[in-house]
Amino acid sequence: MRTVILYSRPGCHLCDDARAVLRRVGERTSFAFEEIDVSGVDALELEYGVRIPVVLVDGQERFELTVDEGELASLLGG
């Protein structure tokens, strides 16, 4: 099964948009999903803080700031 990780933080409207795209794609194809809040975690804030949302697919960074629904579906085989 493919794995998708979303790095986000509360109150981030772009993160809400990315989450909505992930939900829609998830209706067509299955994948394991994990969301990680970067708030208050120094290492994560340094890595992802100004670029969130960041989406990894199977450990590879694929999207930042926006998530292209068609491209994500293609990556996940759906």
Please name the helix (run of DSSP H) or strand (run of DSSP E) that holds residue 71, with its range, or none: helix 69-76
pLDDT for the residue numbered 10: 96
Q: Which domain holds residue 12?
A: 3-76
Cα gap 41→66, rounded to integer Å? 22
pLDDT for the residue numbered 23: 97
Q: 38-75: per-residue pLDDT in tens? A: 999 999 999 998 999 999 999 999 999 999 999 999 99
Which CATH number fits the domain that encloses residue 63? 3.40.30.10
The total of structural domains in the chain comes to 1
pLDDT for the residue numbered 67: 98
